[in-house]
Amino acid sequence: MRRVLSLLLMLCMVLSLCTGCEEEIQEAEMEVYHTAGEREGEAVWSYGFGVRPIISPSHSDGKGLYIAGYNSGWYGAGYLNRNVMGTYRNMGGKLQEYDPDYSEARAAWIDAGAGGVLLIGIDCVGLSKPVIDNIRDRLFTLCAEHNCISVNVYSTHSHASPDSFGMWGPLAVDGKNDEYMEALVNAAVEAATVAMTSRYTGELRYGQATTEGMIYDSRDPQVYDPDVHQLRFANADGGPGLRLMFYGAHAESMRGDNVLLSRDFPGLMCDVVTYETGDYTMFLPGAIGGLMYTNILTEGYFDAVDNMELTGNAMAQYVLSIKPSDETVIPPELSVARTLFTAEMDNPLYLCLKFLGVLENEVVEGDSDSGYLVCSEMSVLRLGNLHIVCMPGEIFPELVFGGEYHYYGTHGENPTPLREIAAGYGVEDMLIIGLCNDELGYIVPPSDFLVNEAAPYIEKIEDITGENHYEETNSLGPKTAHTIAETFDALLAALTE
């Protein structure tokens, strides 16, 4: 396996690079927008919602698609590529009986009276920035007409969705299906169009509930956010509201042997909350690196579908437990800061995948172990005094919240935790949208960054405690954490100027 990858990498190095983002980043300035307005003499929030299923014309039965998130053919013996074998259907109860669980694009429009933002959530494992930029390009004219100042696309990180990133096909083959990807982009554009053009006014409220026995950290130290956070738009006319539900766990309740398409627990969670309240719903992943996951069934008999259904229903009940008296009102003020940046690409496997056309992330020549940098972006949305970080990857929670770290790597000190950086700017309430506007892989603390010396980033390794350092094989390198912290600091500085 190592010899094959080494030969592929040597071949790839003679191919030409995509340098389309180099001049863009060199010329880019920090983009900052502050909006606050009035409607009929009163400052008020406006919101919209749209949803579309992702069904390609000839692949709705799953043929020609690979389940994403597990068992990549790139990672050694024992890992097999798995074709989708069908679509999960919920089995009735309060929801529509036998409803096929197709992946969806859900979109929310948010504005405070003078310019707004789009949040588009896709039920998929991850999307590269070029795919997201394609969605933005197709929305360009409509955004100009409606004064949309920011389009942000994130993945719910469902591990029961078709490969949307390319890494789960056969060895050296792009696992994305062109027809399905076109359907994904079309669904995102259609959902965003509906959200932008059908708006409601109302009050925005923030609340949270602490989950118990729902979230696990598969890699020590045990640092995570046990709370499910909710942003709730209450319709001023008594019609459907909108609930944005944030939770820091991988959407992989269907587990690794699954071959059925599903939105996993976030989809069922949204369906139940909508059924119980009549509100529109969206799920947003938080700081999920490390690897944060959910399991209801932990002992004895285990059925993956049962586990997903129990998880989705339990998460919905936590959201429904948030009472109006538990919420705080967010004033109608909206600001956005966005910047492009580059991160060092030290992972030779990622570079090989890029040159083979599997990964679409744009790269340029630069100072790194491989000689190349990845072009990406980061944004911060400020709603009243609540800051929402659009995180382009899967960041370890300790890099956000601080606390305990492990020190079994060889790559030096960790950056200042994002929460501590935010506190320096007077920010108290902060939420993360993981896998937003790009997928850079795991963002790992440098102090615990460890790779296999014989086959770095290609074969996993255990540290002296027996801890598995799998996440490093799906990361850019140990310096990404510092790049993210520095970029976040710059964004907050720009917002407060």
pLDDT tens sequence for the chain (497 residues) = 444 444 444 444 434 444 456 555 555 568 998 876 554 556 789 999 999 999 886 555 556 788 898 865 544 434 456 778 778 876 444 555 557 888 999 999 999 988 899 999 999 999 999 999 999 999 999 999 999 999 999 999 999 999 999 988 877 788 899 999 999 999 999 999 999 999 999 999 999 999 999 999 999 999 999 999 999 999 999 999 999 999 999 999 988 888 888 999 999 999 999 999 999 999 999 999 988 888 887 677 778 888 899 999 999 999 999 999 999 999 999 999 999 999 999 998 888 888 888 889 889 999 888 889 999 999 999 999 999 999 999 999 999 999 989 888 877 899 999 999 999 999 999 999 999 999 999 999 999 999 998 888 888 898 999 988 999 999 999 999 999 999 999 999 999 98
In this structure, how many other beta carbons lie within 10 angstroms of the beta carbon of residue 263? 26
**Residue-level pLDDT at 475:** 95
Residue 414, C-beta contacts closer than 8 angstroms, at least 6 positions apart: 398, 399, 405, 445, 446, 447, 481
Give the C-alpha separation, 123 to 263, whole Å. 6
Q: Omega of the bond prior to 291 within 30 degrees of 0, cis?
A: yes
Q: Where are the domains of the chain?
A: 44-332+386-497
CA atoms within 13 A on the CB side of 347: 30
* 7 CA to centre of own chain: 33
Candidates 438, 418, 439; CA nearest to 430 is 418
Amino acid at 421: I
**Residue-level pLDDT at 276:** 97
How would DSSP label each residue in 252-315?
-TT-TT--EE--HHHHHHHHHHHHHH--EEEEEE-S-TTTEE--S--SS---HHHHHHHHHHHH
* 166 CA to centre of own chain: 16
Query: Where are the strands (E) in 286-396, listed by range?
Result: 292-293, 328-330, 334-344, 363-365, 372-383, 386-390, 394-395
In the numeric block, the tokens 């949208």 are attached to 433
The 10 Å CB-count burial string (b at 16+, else e) for 298-329 is eeeeeebbebbbbbbbbbbebbeebeeeebee
Q: What DSSP state is assigned to residue 426?
A: T
Residue 299, C-beta contacts closer than 8 angstroms, at least 6 positions apart: none
Predicted TM-score (pTM) of this structure: 0.93
For the record, the structure tokens of 444 come out as 């790992």
How would DSSP label each residue in 62-114?
-TT-BB-SS--TTS-TT----B--EE-B---TTSPTT-B---EEEEEEEESSS
Task: Report which secondary-structure segment, H or E, holds 180.
Answer: helix 178-197
